[in-house]
Amino acid sequence: MASIVHLAGRFFGSLRPGGPPRTEVDVVRTELGPAEFEIWSGMSGPDRRHSVGVAARVRGILGPDADRSVMAAALLHDSGKVDSGLRTPGRVVATVMAGLVKHDETTIRRWAVGGGYRRRIGLYLLHPERGAEHLESAGSDPLTVAWTLQHHLPRADCTLDQRLADALRVADND
């Protein structure tokens, strides 16, 4: 589990606006299809910075086995967060509230179709599913869609090749 210092560093880092440098954006453009790049471009600056970090770590772990679909999974796994409209402080509230309020999947789905702030929290908690739906519509590779859908599931519930899934998980949790 990440240390509190590490988590605090990530929190304060995610408060800084702005995406990755132009040179990294140009690389991302070559790694994604046009529709995927449009989805990536709609992500928040901190989420885009996070995504290029995950992609770089995955490439470092897998080397040439990090094919196009794996790189797209690294870059787009959190793309569904856009739907909630929540930025870092709101996401912290959503995460804390989800921990404090007794809820199951039915509750989250009710929040997501309701109104007000609960709707945003519900959408945030459903970001794997929302992202997977958007990527499927964009014609992404099935592996990219599957990892986006499964990236918060326990290891045992993951249907991907375990070596690829482990690399993506480690890179995301760094």
For Fe ion, give the closer residue by CB, 64 or 74.
74
- Per CB under 5 A, 172 contacts Fe ion: yes
Q: How far is the CB of 168 from Fe ion (least distance, A)?
A: 9
What is the nearest approach in angstroms of Fe ion to the Cβ of residue 169? 10
**Using CA atoms in the order 85, 87, 93, 97, what is the torsion angle rounded to 10 degrees?**
40
Min separation Cβ 107 and Fe ion, Å: 19
Question: Per rule CB under 5 A, is residue 36 in the interface with Fe ion?
Answer: no
CB of 19 to Fe ion, least distance (A): 15
Nearer to Fe ion, 43 or 138 (CB): 43
Query: Is 47 a binder of Fe ion (CB under 5 A)?
Result: no
- Residue 130 to residue 45: CA distance in whole angstroms: 19
SS (HEC) of 31-97: HCCHHHHHHHHCCCHHHHHHHHHHHHHHHHHHHHHCCHHHHHHHHHCCHHHHHHCCCHHHHHHHHHH
Chain centroid offset of residue 156 CA: 20
Q: How far is the CB of 151 from Fe ion (least distance, A)?
A: 6
Q: Among residues 115 and 121, whose Cβ is nearest to Fe ion?
A: 121
Q: Which residue has tokens 């995927």?
A: 36
Stretch that binds Fe ion, among 71-79, 101-109, 114-122, 153-161 (CB under 5 A): 71-79
In this complex, which beta carbon is closest to Fe ion, that of residue 10 or of residue 103? 10
> Would you say the C-alpha torsion 126, 130, 133, 135 has a positive or negative sign?
negative
Number of residues that bind Fe ion (CB under 5 A): 2
Within positions 74 to 103, which residues make up the interface with Fe ion, using CB under 5 A? Answer: 78
Contact 52, 146 (CB under 8 A): no
Give the residues lining the site for Fe ion (CB under 5 A): 78, 172
